[in-house]
């Protein structure tokens, strides 16, 4: 009788460890997604600023050639 109880405890321990590992992986995956999203937003901001600068330079160039 005690032998089967010990097996159940081991199985429960393995299940808990597996559950904890999955939770860790899910948390790490969420952190990675958040970091990637933040990097994408930062890159988008930089690219928008660069586009604006290039557009301003283009407008000045067109204005100068029109005069």
DSSP assignment of the chain equals -HHHHHHHHHHHHHHHHHHHHHHHHHHHHHHHHHHHHHHHHHHHHHHHHHHHHHHHHHHHHHHHHH-
Taking the alpha carbons of 19, 24, 27, 29 in that order, is the dihedral positive or negative?
Answer: negative
pLDDT computed for residue 1 by the predictor: 44
Is the predicted pLDDT of residue 5 greater than 70, yes or no? no
Between CA 19 and CA 61 the distance in angstroms is 63
pLDDT in tens, 18-65: 999 999 999 999 999 999 999 999 999 999 999 999 999 999 999 999
């Amino acid at each position: 009788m005690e032998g089967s109880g010990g097996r159940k405890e081991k199985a429960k321990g393995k299940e808990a460890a597996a559950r904890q590992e999955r939770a860790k992986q899910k948390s790490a995956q969420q952190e990675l997604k958040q970091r990637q999203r933040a990097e994408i937003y930062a890159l988008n901001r930089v690219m928008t600023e660069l586009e604006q600068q290039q557009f301003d330079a283009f407008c000045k160039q067109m204005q100068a050639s029109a005069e």
